[in-house]
């Protein structure tokens, strides 16, 4: 059902700004509203109301078995959602909140059933964006919010991306400009003795290790390098319009592969660092910034994935990046977005 999507661009991020009050009222009336966070834009709904949350799944076309992250205004709201707060979780909240770290804790059932997809646990984070925090304060309840893209598409890092995917499907969009981190939060399971990273993100393993004695990485995140994906995995996550191939090798290998596929008549779009682009004689290119600044690459990645249109390119080749720090999250998203890896050995 097509509806008029309102676009608000508040000049100030305070909980009593008329735009923010209007957006909060829409949320209280069980509507869904997109808002910026420091990672990506989220699509919010009252996390305690099943009917409101259902509208998120409908608007995104999201599978019902994928749970949503609950966003809170402060630590106090966490107590309302969980059975208890383990010591490590308290330490992590004190250290990294507000910020791009989602904690998986035992739910006490206050979050709606469809938020947790029937699991006994709930993912919670306090975002660092002043507009998100003003909205959370105005609405006075926790907000469930997945990334505000159609399911399977790259996450939105600008209000314009949300419009591309969801215009006419949601009540409104709060425009707060481009997001900062550019990749989603780190998801950390705190229900076992040793916390486990389920999704790498803005708060890196290295940063977590500065405050925790031990951090594990979920086995599903390891050992993926170089493994070609089955065709069935195509277009499941962060997918650009044309098939994305990862080129895993040095710059010479990248150039060889590019020339080979071009000479076979393919129109190839290239997503790469400034350093590699400086060596290429090719027109269809998008820069992700310097490979020495992985934060910059994270910030530009989803925009780059949205840029190439199916009408313009047959294939997209992307460079691979160093996996330290936020590089782990960058490569995790690139692998998920890709349908094939070309390896140099």
Site string for Mg ion, 101-140 (x = CB under 5 A): ----------------------------------------
184 is an interface residue for ligand TXA by CB under 6 A: yes
267 is an interface residue for ligand TXA by CB under 6 A: no
* C-alpha to C-alpha distance for 138 and 71, rounded to whole angstroms: 13
* Contact by Cβ (8 Å): 161, 51: no
332 is an interface residue for Mg ion by CB under 5 A: no
**Interface with ligand TXA in residues 76-115 (CB under 6 A):** 100, 102, 104
* Contact by Cβ (8 Å): 121, 222: no
What does DSSP assign to residue 249? S
Q: 18: which residues sit within 8 A by CB, 6+ positions away?
A: 10
CB of residue 274 to ligand TXA, shortest distance in Å? 26
* Contact by Cβ (8 Å): 156, 163: no
3-class DSSP state of 233: helix
320 is an interface residue for Mg ion by CB under 5 A: no
CB of residue 61 to Mg ion, shortest distance in Å? 12
Q: Which stretch binds ligand TXA (CB under 6 A): 91-99, 143-151, 214-222, 268-276?
A: 143-151
* C-alpha to C-alpha distance for 313 and 284, rounded to whole angstroms: 8
147 is an interface residue for Mg ion by CB under 5 A: yes
Q: Which is nearer to Mg ion, 62 or 205 (CB)?
A: 62
147 is an interface residue for ligand TXA by CB under 6 A: yes
Q: Which stretch binds Mg ion (CB under 5 A): 144-152, 200-208, 303-311, 315-323?
A: 144-152
CA distances from residue 320 to 5, 83, 107, 170, 317 in whole angstroms, order as listed: 38, 42, 38, 35, 10
| Interface with ligand TXA (CB under 6 A), residue from 10, 67, 98, 182 | 67
For 265, counting Cβ atoms within 10 Å of its Cβ (0-12 exposed, 13-18 middle, 19+ buried), the class is exposed
Give me the residues that bind ligand TXA (CB under 6 A), please. 37, 39-40, 42, 66-69, 100, 102, 104, 116, 119, 121-123, 127, 145-147, 184-185, 187, 198-199
Give me the residues that bind Mg ion (CB under 5 A), please. 147
């Amino acid at each position: 059902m097509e509806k008029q999507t309102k676009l608000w661009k508040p000049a100030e991020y305070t909980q009593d700004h008329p735009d923010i009050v209007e957006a909060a009222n829409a949320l209280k009336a069980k509507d869904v509203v997109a808002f910026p966070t420091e990672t990506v834009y989220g699509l919010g709904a009252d996390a305690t109301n099943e009917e409101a949350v259902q509208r998120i799944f409908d608007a995104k076309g999201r599978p019902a078995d994928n749970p949503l992250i609950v966003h809170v205004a402060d630590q106090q709201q966490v107590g309302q959602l969980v059975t208890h707060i383990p010591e490590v979780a308290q330490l992590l909240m004190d250290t990294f909140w507000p910020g791009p770290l989602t904690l998986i804790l035992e739910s006490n059932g206050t979050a709606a059933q469809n938020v947790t997809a029937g699991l006994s646990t709930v993912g919670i984070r306090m975002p660092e964006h002043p507009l998100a925090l003003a909205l959370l304060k105005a609405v006075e309840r926790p907000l469930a919010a997945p990334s505000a893209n159609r399911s399977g598409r790259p996450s939105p890092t600008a209000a314009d991306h949300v419009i591309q995917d969801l215009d006419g499907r949601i009540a409104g969009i709060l425009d707060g400009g481009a997001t900062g981190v550019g990749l989603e939060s780190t998801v950390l399971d705190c229900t076992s003795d040793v916390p486990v990273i389920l999704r790498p993100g803005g708060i890196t393993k290295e940063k977590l290790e500065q405050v925790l004695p031990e951090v594990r990485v979920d086995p599903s995140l390891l050992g993926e390098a170089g493994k070609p994906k089955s065709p069935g995995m195509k277009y499941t996550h962060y997918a650009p319009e044309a098939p994305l191939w990862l080129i895993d090798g040095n710059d010479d290998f990248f150039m060889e592969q590019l020339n080979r596929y071009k000479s076979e008549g393919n129109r190839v779009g290239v997503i790469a660092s400034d350093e590699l682009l400086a060596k290429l004689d090719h027109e269809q290119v998008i820069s992700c910034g310097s490979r020495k600044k992985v934060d910059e690459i994270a910030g530009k990645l989803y925009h780059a994935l949205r840029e190439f249109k199916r009408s313009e390119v047959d294939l997209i080749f992307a460079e691979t990046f160093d996996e330290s720090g936020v590089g782990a999250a960058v490569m995790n998203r690139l692998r998920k977005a890709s349908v094939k890896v070309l390896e140099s050995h």
